[in-house]
Amino acid sequence: MKPFLNYRNSYYLKTRVKNPNILAGEFSYYCGYHHGERFEDQVWLLDEAPMGEDGDKLIIGKFCVIGSGAIFLMGGNQGHRRDWISGYPIEILEGGYDVNKSKAPKGYQQKGDTVIGNDVWIGAEAMIMPGVKIGNGAVITTRAVVIEDVPPYAIVRGNPAKKVEMRFTDSEIKKLEEIAWWDWPIEKVRKNISLLRSGDIEKLASLEK
């Protein structure tokens, strides 16, 4: 897999991402032309958030397109507890900005993995909040703020993001989920590019018979 695509410094995530908490599928790419090129700079993590096996992960499926400036907020509750009297990170009064020196309990609470399905399109400057699950084939429009799970093949927009329409009918979505074309061998995908660029789901399904 080549690291760059032939369009405005777009690149496949798997070829560039080093953070062990970011897992990207084959052929998913980021186009960061207008906001700098580093996708990892768009994944916001709290300093006190655990890394590795103990930390929340950003899991991105195959064949996803992520627009310039899209943000993935991975800091759990961002250290601010709503059930405490003060939402201020008051432990910094003990340890300065090094919260690990404080004896006060940490405000940070994990939200769980953020999971982006396969063939998802995320528009420029969209924001995905911690722990959100986005289904296969969904479309997140420009500057949408996604605070809750998104069904497969839904189109969402706004702040907070709301479903405005479904790309296909329930029965068609069920077929697409069963077909899972993103799991085909890449040779089969290339052979059927024209079909994948159409709306002929019945013909696509016939390839599985």
Model pTM?
A: 0.87
65-66: strand order across its sheet: 11-12, 29-30, 65-66, 121-122, 139-140, 154-157, 162-166
Looking at the domain 1-76+111-167, which fold is it?
A: UDP N-Acetylglucosamine Acyltransferase; domain 1 (2.160.10)
- What's the rounded Cα separation, in Å, for the pair 148 and 160? 9
- Averaged pLDDT of the chain: 87
Residue 80: pLDDT above 80? Answer: no
Write down the pLDDT at residue 99.
55
Positions marked catalytic: 80
Residue 140 has phi, psi (to 5 degrees) of -105, 115
Residue 106: pLDDT above 90? Answer: no
pLDDT in tens, 26-39: 999 999 878 877 89
Residue 107: pLDDT above 80? Answer: no
| Domain residue extents for the chain | 1-76+111-167, 78-109, 168-209
Q: Which two tokens stand for residue 89?
A: 């990170």
pLDDT in tens, 114-169: 999 999 999 999 999 999 999 999 999 999 999 999 999 999 999 999 999 999 99
